[in-house]
Amino acid sequence: MISQIEILKAIPREISHNMFSKTYEKGSQIIQPSEHNDYLYFLTDGRVEVVQLTHDGNELFINELHAHNVFGELEVFDEGFKTNAVIAKTKCTVIKLHRKSVFEWMKIDREFSKYLFEVIVNCYIKKCVRSDKLTALTIKQRLLLSLFNHHKNDSLDSLNKSKLIQEVSAPKRSLNRVLRECCDEGYVIYSNNQFSIINLEKLTNFVANFDG
């Protein structure tokens, strides 16, 4: 896949004049939920989290994006698409480009059109792969894998139960039962709405059996 760096280096001059850069502090909402968005975002530095807000106000984790990822592409092609919230998990810098300029760029640069197509297709593939992988695992395996990945990505402190329910794709009652089991077995502690790993070696060995 063509990299974002290559794409931005090759941007036509008449398009680059319409781009602008913006920096967001940690915790800022880059895109508000359920709003109309006219911009394609190139994440050039930092890490963001995409979440969906439920009717009862809970946040459901959708995806995490890092530097050189793109977001906002679906709204560019579908003006009726309602956004998910995009939140800066670290200090972030993005480059924004209005949809009109996106379409102009696509008309004059086949490589950019190919790049956007690959972004959308890869996003779809990741969702399918994740769905297939989750289906093959037990709730316990999915739960401990999620906690392990958050520890590895240094994001365990931002994990809440609503997000974990979304990642594990399990009913709340079932997740609570399995979480109690994992706590009793000495993998983790859940206290004051915070997850803590108490035996990393045991967790690593458990995850290694199915996440290779």
pLDDT at site 124: 75
Give the pLDDT of residue 133.
64
pLDDT at 23: 97
Residue 69 has a pLDDT of 94
Which uninterrupted H or E stretch holds 197?
strand 194-197
Kindly give the parts of the chain with pLDDT less than 50: none
- Residues 16, 29 contacting (CB under 8 angstroms): no
Cα–Cα distance between 166 and 163 in angstroms, integer?
Answer: 5
pLDDT tens across 5-48, in order? 899 999 999 999 999 999 999 999 999 988 889 999 999 999 99
Predicted pLDDT of residue 1: 72
Its pTM stands at: 0.68
Sign of the CA dihedral running 100, 103, 105, 107: negative
Residue 190 has what pLDDT? 95
In the prediction, which pLDDT does 101 show? 97
In b/e form, how buried is each residue of 94-128, taking b as 16+ CB within 10 angstroms?
Answer: bbbbebebbebbbeebeebeebbeebeeebeeeee
- b/e string for 46-72 if b means 16 or more Cβ within 10 A? bbbbbbbeeeeeebebbbbbebebbbb
Q: What is the pLDDT of residue 211?
A: 63
